[in-house]
Structure 1
Amino acid sequence: MYDNLSDAPLSFSRVFSPERLSIGLLTPLEAYPNSPFPTLAEHVRMAKLAEEAGIASIWLRDVPFYDPNFGDAAQMLDPLVYAGFLAAATTEIALGTAGIVLPLREPISVAKQAASLDLLSNQRFVLGLSTGDRPVEYPAFGVDFEARGELYREAVEYIRYLQQESFPRVQTTHYGKLNGNLDLYPKMPQRLPLMAVGRSRQPIEWLAQHVDAWIWSVDDDKAIAEIIASLAQAADGHPAPAYGYSTFFDLDENPNAPYQRFYNVVRIGRNALIERLQRHQALGVQHVALNLKPASRPAEAVIEELGSYVIPALG
């Protein structure tokens, strides 16, 4: 957690600020309600359109395999490769992962890839880390699904050592050992933001003390207030992680359409959306990441409406 927002890189402060709620988009940047596979048509133009509209961030999902039982292949491209591509196509928007399935990845490689992306994007990268939501992937990697929480914790701490210490000395249980004779490059001018995505099998107390931000799926008013209060209490006098949530999203063409929820999809008109986000902003929510997969309108129309009406209303 950053003691002062001025100490945080631009990637973090653009997305997370106690002064305002920001809006991000999950990839792919298109509506594809009737297929598990996106087209990726004009995805570069859509990223630039999102940046011009004032969208704070683009979040890339880590989905190694297509699972027919899950029904969504995300953006299909590897998130870290894709982030590098988008870094070259944009100039200001924050780029992040939501999130890298850390127990299925080697943490030294993740640390180096993240540092490389941060450098190439001019400090626009946020490393979001998760344990994933698809158990079927774990056997393919030969990783114990039941150990994912422990693997996640150790890998997060290993990444912190690698990025913040020079010639670190680290002995891990599940990964490797550093004896102080090796150093990881490139070095970053400021500490890279780490974000938990989902609960990642961790208690609130651990999240409050080990990550800079937390994106979950909980968007109920009462639950939000309880989560933010719990994070503040668990932080024990230190700055608590920023809280945000993600949701499948369908912006109704009728600006006066009320809030509706269909399982995990929010369908809403812009006026009710503005009121809802202002209320959540007052509760302390700092970011909302929208997944346009179920959208009934083209993503371009949704992004333009968010930029013209919703984002300005949030201050």
Structure 2
Amino acid sequence: MSYGMQLPIQSQSTLYAEPWEAAAGPGDLVAIARAADRSGFAYVAVCDHVAIPRRLADAMGTVWYDPVATLGYLAAATERVRLLSHVAVAALRHPLLTAKQYATLDHLSGGRLILGVGAGHVREEFDALGVDFDARGPLLDETVDALKAALGPEEFADFHGERFAYRDLGQAPRPAQTPRPPLWVGGSSPAALRRAAVRGDGWLPQGDSRDRLPAQIARLRALREAAGVAEPAEIGAIAEPLYVGDPPWRVGRRTLTGKPERLAESLRAYAAMGVDQIQVRFRSRSRTELTDQMAAFAAEVAPHLNA
């Protein structure tokens, strides 16, 4: 079981952002990405929102870095850690445009892209961009199919769907990964789970508690088998907030704390459910405390995750 993380700073919803992030900037983001690179994290992830309506701004904030620009910036500052969009609201954009952006990112990063996609949930974003919010599920299904064609081995890809159709249109540079970069599908609704099972290379659940995950994973596997998809899906989970050691401040009752062996034992329960990668988040009061927590996790907890 591998481990990755959603980066701080680049999205600042009040649901999870720490107070110190408000004053942080690009230098802090680079330092944290480099710490993940050094510490064996499988990926760093960046969210996607184009614009936040005023009615949601108090909860969501308006700080949402663009994922392609941000991951491209961090690609130049890191060497091995993979670059995940978690998740790109792919239905907001034409698939050829998305393919151009992410193929270039994969090319420039030496094949480190993981393209995570999701349906989105903010109606005003869709309205402003002229995209039918109520049709976003079927639109995303076709977008995923079109992306798989455009990011595949053919420079001149052909695709013919209900909403998108193109042929004899070449795109280069091509992705570094062959036959294409992995495409993970986010979301935990029945439609999202089916989309991940039938169309995705991996699944990024959104907020599923531990007690819900086994049934969701079993459902995904059954749907995948019924669809005749032979390759196993990369199954993810978002772990509870973590603090390695005994925190000298109040970190919240849901936060997993304590000795590394205790944390590893708790997190191994995800592997027992069939999870392949966990997304971790550390409570912190500063960039330094965060990178110290990341280093402690990598050195003291991660070696016990697959015991």
Please tell me the TM-score bracket, short chain as reference: 0.7 to 0.9
Whole-angstrom CA distance in 1 between matches of 2:60 and 2:169: 43
Q: Over aligned residue pairs, what C-alpha RMSD do you find?
A: 2.9
Q: Is the 8 A contact 1:128 1:195 kept in 2?
A: yes
Normalised by the length of structure 1, the TM-score is 0.80
Superposition map of 1:140-155 within 5 A: 140-155=128-143
Residue 68 (structure 2) pairs with residue 80 (structure 1):
yes
Normalised by the length of structure 2, the TM-score is 0.82
1:110-141 deviation digits (Å, cap 9, x = unpaired): 11111111111111110000122333322222
**Amino acid paired to 1:206:** R
2:170 — aligned with what? Answer: 183
Q: Secondary structure at the match of 2:76?
A: helix
Whole-angstrom CA distance in 1 between matches of 2:69 and 2:163: 26
Whole-angstrom CA distance in 2 between matches of 1:248 and 1:295: 14
Q: Secondary structure at the match of 2:169?
A: coil
Residue 201 (structure 2) pairs with residue 212 (structure 1):
yes
What residue ranges of structure 1 are gaps of 5+ in the alignment? Answer: 1-20
Q: Is the 8 A contact 1:168 1:182 kept in 2?
A: yes
Residue number among 94, 115, 125 corresponding to 1:127 in the alignment: 115
Counting aligned pairs with the same residue, the percent is: 26
Greater relative contact order (CA < 8 Å, ≥ 6 in sequence) = 1
**Amino acid paired to 1:193:** P
1:51 — aligned with what? Answer: 37
**Structure 1 residues 137 and 82, CA gap change in structure 2 (3 angstroms):** same
Q: Is the 8 A contact 1:32 1:295 kept in 2?
A: no
**Amino acid paired to 2:36:** A
Q: Secondary structure at the match of 1:279?
A: helix
Residue number among 8, 18, 40 corresponding to 1:33 in the alignment: 18
Residue number among 271, 281, 291 corresponding to 1:281 in the alignment: 271
2:224 — aligned with what? Answer: 235
1:81-102 deviation digits (Å, cap 9, x = unpaired): 1111111100011111001111
Residue 246 (structure 2) pairs with residue 254 (structure 1):
yes
**Structure 1 residues 290 and 64, CA gap change in structure 2 (3 angstroms):** farther
Whole-angstrom CA distance in 1 between matches of 2:50 and 2:185: 19
**Amino acid paired to 2:2:** S
**Amino acid paired to 1:220:** S
Residue 184 (structure 2) pairs with residue 195 (structure 1):
yes
Residue number among 227, 232, 237 corresponding to 1:245 in the alignment: 237
Report how many residues are paired. Answer: 286
Whole-angstrom CA distance in 2 between matches of 1:73 and 1:24: 24
**Amino acid paired to 2:302:** I
2:13 — aligned with what? Answer: none
Q: Is the 8 A contact 1:260 1:267 kept in 2?
A: yes
**Structure 1 residues 148 and 36, CA gap change in structure 2 (3 angstroms):** farther
1:164-203 deviation digits (Å, cap 9, x = unpaired): 263333233333x213x22222223512100111147725
Q: Secondary structure at the match of 2:41?
A: coil
